[in-house]
Amino acid sequence: MDAIGRLCPPLRVGERVTLRLGKPTRDLIGFVVALRPLTIEDRHGRLHEIPDGTVQAARRVSPALGRDPGTAPRELLDDLARRAGLTGEPRLHRISDLLAGRPAPATVFAARGDWADGSHRARVEGEWLTTDVTEPELLVDLCWWATRQNARSVQVRG
C-alpha cells in the first residue's frame, strides 16, 4: 500500500495535499482534482497526473497562512481594488481564518483570476483576493477558489 492508501480518512477530491514523489524525487503541493488517476492542481492551475506507486509520502495541509493582512500597505490595497474595479474601505482577513474547520469543496469556480456573477466581482492578484462579496457563504466559496490560485488574504470592499 502506498502513502495515499495509508491516509485515514481516505483522500477526497478538493483537499489540499503535499506529496513526496519518487521517479524522480520531488515534492508537489496542490489540490486533488481527481482520484483515479490521482491528479493534483498546483497553484498555477497546472494539472499533475501522479502515476501509481510513485507517492512516497502524503499529508493533508490547510490553506496557506500568508502574511498578516493588516500590515499590507494601503497603497497596495487601493491599487488592487482599483484594478478589480472596486471602491470603499477595505475589511481585511486571512483566508485561512475564514476557511478554518470547513471541508474543502470538490470543485471551485472554473475561471482563474477574475470572477463575476452580474452583481458581484472578485479578482485574485498575487496573494490577494479582492471582492465586494459580503454574503458569508459566497465569500467562503470565493476564498476556496482564490486559495487554489495561491491567494492568502482577502480584502472586502464595498
**Tens of pLDDT, residues 78-96:** 999 999 999 999 999 999 9
Q: Which domain holds residue 45?
A: 3-60
Q: Is there a single domain that holds both residue 84 and residue 139?
A: yes
Model pLDDT, residue 36: 93
State which of 60, 77, 96 marks the end of a domain. Answer: 60
Q: How many domains are contained in the chain?
A: 2
Q: Is there a single domain that holds both residue 149 and residue 82?
A: yes
Q: Is there a single domain that holds both residue 109 and residue 141?
A: yes
Give the Å distances, CA to CA, from 43 to 13, 21, 24, 147.
Answer: 16, 18, 21, 8
Model pLDDT, residue 1: 54
Q: Is there a single domain that holds both residue 82 and residue 149?
A: yes
Whichever domain contains 40, its CATH number is: 2.30.30
Against a cut of 0.85, is the pTM above it?
yes
- Stretches in the chain below the pLDDT threshold 70: 1
Q: In what order do the strands lie in the sheet containing 47-49?
A: 47-49, 38-41, 26-35, 16-21, 55-60
Give the Å distances, CA to CA, from 22 to 2, 15, 33, 34, 93.
Answer: 12, 21, 20, 20, 37
Q: Is there a single domain that holds both residue 53 and residue 12?
A: yes
Judge if the upstream peptide bond of residue 37 is cis by omega within 30 degrees of 0.
yes
Q: Is there a single domain that holds both residue 56 and residue 81?
A: no
Q: Which H or E run contains 140? A: helix 136-147
Model pLDDT, residue 2: 80
